[in-house]
Structure 1
Amino acid sequence: MSTAHQLRITHIGGPTTLIEIGGWRLLTDPTFDPPGRRYTFGWGTSSRKVTGPAIPAADLGPIHAVLLSHDHHGDNLDDTGRALLSLAGTVLTTVPAARRLGPETRGLRAGQSTRLTHPGRPTIEVTATPCRHGPPLSGPIVGAVIGFALRWAGQQHGALWILGDTVLTRRVRQVATRIRVGTVLLHLGGVRFPITGPLRYSMTARRAAQLCAALRPHTAIPVHYEGWQHFQEPREVIERAFTAAPSPARDSIRWLPPGEPTTIDA
């Protein structure tokens, strides 16, 4: 018989969350720099950080693994977050990021899986999921990005899916047909930059509602929609999109108070 393990998620800010499962403490996309600095993202794009983390890096406690969707944008891995990587037992990320970050990092391509194991803790299967961090054919410019689907014994509703920075594509939609998802962390914000006009570099609220209508998760948690100047869709836009969505999506949305550990029905 499977043993249930409590899932607890703390939204620290931007894409950064602390995920606690049966003794595991996992950190997503570490961003802990103070606000005020402008970061360049390449090809003439940049943004200023306007909100600091809800929990300072020094107060985190032990981190057993980092799930890093990509390493080359400061709103997903900043200087303080980068310093934390050496303190984590494991770092899972893209193959190009693993080459840049060193031999202690595991690189995954979309569809590949690995396991987090430790005596006295549940084994967590981590599967990399596809992302496209921009419009069609933008991959060579925006670089490799992945999401993560986490599965462990005792899940009642399905996997925990960390979407990663992506627009809605056919491959992202297909995840809903391949993995039963109970909880999804939605990287939103509908990012645009003046230099590239209407092109989007992360998922809009409307597209996220469409995805959740197909996915039918028990819980959908918005992250990575605030704290930086380049985000175009704040909370009220996300709320309107989900209010207008069919009931499976509309009823799934849940907002996490920054810095407060929240128990999720997994």
Structure 2
Amino acid sequence: MNASITFIGNATTLLRLGQFTLLTDPAFGPAGSRVYLGYGAWTKRLRDPVLDALQGAAIDGMVLSHLHGDHFDAAARKWIEPTLPILTTPAASRKLRRKRYLAVRGLPTWECFEWSRDRQRLRVTAVPGKHGPGLVDRLLPDVMGSVVELEVDGRLALRLYITGDTLVHDALEQIPRRFGEMDAMLIHLGGTRLAGMLLTMDDRQGVDVAQLIRPALTVPIHFDDYQVMKSPLADFVTRAERQGLTGITPIERGGTLHLPLRDGIDGGHAEQRNAM
């Protein structure tokens, strides 16, 4: 049994976890396309997603951290079937239902959704996220992180934390308290700024979260696809190394990284292969 992440671009990944396949935050527009962020704000995409990596994928469901244009854009909406199960925030689910997405499920914080197949079970639990500082957060879309757990014969094989577009805030401390050890983390970085306000983690906040969660493997995503992202990935990697953090593993667009399975579960090692 194997578990892996394929990085498509921005926050879009393909997670192959045992017998299950999840798509996260699909944004399929090419470089040069523009997406709407609300309140009259737009941003331009700078890098192409690697859509070839999606060919042949039989997707069981989609995890959408929140409803912003750089996480679910017009190109992706044309591609996603209205019957595909979508796990997202309650606010986003209400909007998507009005757009005729028939299988969307809004997860309040700490609620979960499960798939079962043969001897395996995949569970996605919504965890806290905060997209903006102070009262500004109320003006932005609700956002959730996700903890994804793969079980085989009732035994935990993998626990993965996807941060979503969150800033550091006190509620994040509840995640390691409730779940314990994380095998891997997909961390949304980029230091997104609008009107001078920080809306996603920069290198400093990213290191703070990595120190809090202490996963065996940390995979940075969401860091340089759009003009509003101001904090380079290299700054995060350098700061993490200076703080003595290990397991920081960047992944190229189109590349696949095998995720570590727990002892006693048959699987691959944490090694990366990049698309040709």
Give the corresponding residue for 1:187: 188
Q: For residues 166 and 159 of structure 1, what CA distance do their matches in structure 2 show?
A: 19
Structure-2 separation of matches of 1:58 and 1:122: 23
Task: Please give the root-mean-square deviation of Cα atoms over the aligned residues, in Å.
Answer: 1.9
Structure 2: tracts of 5 or more residues without a match: 262-276
SS in 2 for 1:222: strand
Runs of at least 5 residues in structure 1 that lack an aligned partner in the other structure: none
**Matching residue of 1:175:** 175
Distance in 2, matches of 1:217 and 1:88, equals: 34
User: 1:193-208 maps to which residues of 2 (within 5 A)?
Assistant: 193=194, 196-197=195-196, 199-208=197-206
How much identity, in percent, do the aligned residues show? 29
SS in 2 for 1:123: strand
Contact 2:18 2:150 in 1 (8 A): no
- Structure 2 residue aligned with 1:101: 96
Q: 1:167 to 1:85 in 2, by over 3 A?
A: same
Match of 2:210 in 1: 212
- Is contact 1:134-1:142 (8 Å) kept? yes
List, as ranges, runs of 4+ consecutive aligned residues in structure 1 with deviation greater than 3 Å.
154-158
Residue 146 of structure 1 deviates from its aligned partner by 0.7
CA contact 2:66–2:142 (8 Å) conserved in 1: yes
The 2-side partners of 1:81 and 1:29 are apart by 9
> 1:26 aligned to 2:25?
no
How many Å separate the matches in 1 of 2:27 and 2:56? 12
In the alignment, the residues of structure 2 paired with residue 57 and residue 85 of structure 1 have an alpha-carbon distance, to the nearest angstrom, of 15
State the one-letter code of the partner of 2:41: T
Asked if 2 retains the 8 angstrom alpha-carbon contact of 1:157 and 1:218, the reply is no
SS of corresponding position for 2:134: coil
What TM-score results when the alignment is normalised by the length of structure 1? 0.89
Q: Which amino acid aligns with 1:143?
A: P
- In the alignment, is the contact (CA less than 8 A) between 1:68 and 1:93 conserved in 2? yes
In structure 2, distance between residues paired with 1:37 and 1:101 = 22
1:76-91 to structure 2, matched below 5 A, reads 76-86=71-81, 89-91=84-86
Q: Determine whether 1:115 maps to 2:111.
A: no
SS of equivalent to 2:130: coil
Give yes or no for the alignment of 1:48 onto 2:47.
no
SS at match of 2:22: strand
Q: Deviations over 1:89-123 (max 9, x none)?
A: 41111111111112411110111112122x33621
Distance 2:143 2:21 in 1: 22
CA contact (8 A) 1:192 1:232 kept: yes
Aligned-residue offset at 1:60: 5.1
Residue identity opposite 1:79 in structure 2: A
Matched pairs, number: 254
Query: Which residue identity lines up with residue 107 of structure 2 in the other structure?
Result: L
Structure 1 counterpart of 2:108, one-letter code? R
Per-residue deviation, 1:23: 2.0
Are 2:158 and 2:260, in contact at CA under 8 Å, matched by a contact in 1?
Answer: no
Cα contact 1:31–1:81 (8 A) shared by 2: yes
